[in-house]
Amino acid sequence: MREWNFSAGPSVISAEVLKEVQSELLEFKESGMSVMEMSHRSDIFSDISNNAKKDLINLLKVPDDYDVLFLQGGATHQFSMIAFNYKHLSSTADYVTTGSWTKKAFYEATKIFDPNEVFKSDEDICKKVPNIEELRLSKNAAYLHYCPNETIEGVAFHEIPKIDTPLIADMSSVILSEPLEVNKFSIIYAGAQKNIGPAGLTIVIINKEFMEMGNKNLPNILKYSEHSKSNSMLNTPPTFSWYIAGKVFKWMINLGGLDYFEKQNKLKASLLYNFIDNSDFYENTIDASSRSIMNVPFNLKESKFEEKFLSEALNNGLLNLKGHRSVGGMRASIYNAMPLEGVKDLIKFMDYFKSKNN
């Protein structure tokens, strides 16, 4: 039996998907080779990549006036790629910094032009996200950048801001967790290693009209338009990660798509938060309206028990519960591939540990 992996990323992948990948690892469908060995320009891989793209478009109901790109470099590469592409549209862009990843995105943009940090938390950890529509936004911003779900701090937006500025979102840790109105965004980007598949792949969903507004003077590798023209094969893509992502998309569709996963994810999160909130041993300090459904940070009210908690959790098959080094404490990442049973086992252990040490 597999143990429960609560890692924030690279993170848990469905055992069903992994078994299917395992069965095809040495040879993919009588091709004589593994997917890892085949040319990205072969007919076989073209079928794999095109089917994955179609399934992602189907899952998210991506409109026809958007393209879906399968790129490299992680979300971190997008921090600079976005700024390089759109800095010529205005002297500034607006950034909402609610956690570690948005702070990094803002910092990278400052190396390229003069972005405006329209919100930053007064505390080390943002406990409640702002209403973006009520912020003092720039009149001529090239775009507004935010992160609907901060992986490290476990703070989230649950409403899409209604603003006129082109909206760009880092959805690395929340994409595919629930239905999404793609047409509200100019760019959505996400590293794959949380809800999509292995590390090495980055998904970019981009409005075609906005894409064509990108800086024409950049090297081709930095132009969204060039990646789009080449169907994400301007250079050799991360083929094996793309292949596994396609398996994940099929798995999700077969289970009922985003409506199914939204119900499962909200149920998992509510069970865990309810247990924490009703405990005098654990705590989560994020405002209830801004809590992530993907990443649940929590502290033991007596920090002296932390190392013991992690050690015993590991012995009970509960992996990677240590919080990020920048914030400490514990964190349970409960992405799509974490089943309800895993969350129930975590709660059972937390209750047991409390009774033994309280």
State the catalytic residues.
101, 170, 194
The span from the CA of 34 to the CA of 37, in Å, is 5
Q: What secondary structure letter does DSSP report for 335? A: -
As to burial, measured by CB atoms within 10 angstroms (0-12 exposed, 13-18 middle, 19+ buried), residue 16 is middle
What is the distance between the alpha carbons of residues 157 and 147, in angstroms, rounded to a whole number? 8
Q: What angle do CA 152, 158, 163 make, to 5 degrees?
A: 110
Structure-token pair, residue 141: 């911003």
Amino acid at 67: D
**In which residue are the tokens 């409109």 written?**
63
Cβ 142 vs Cβ 92: under 8 Å = yes
Count Cα neighbours of 198 within 13 Å in the Cβ-side half-sphere: 12
Q: Is 258 left (phi over 0), alpha (psi -120 to 50) or beta?
A: alpha
- DSSP secondary structure string, 96-116? EE-SHHHHHHHHHHHTTS--E
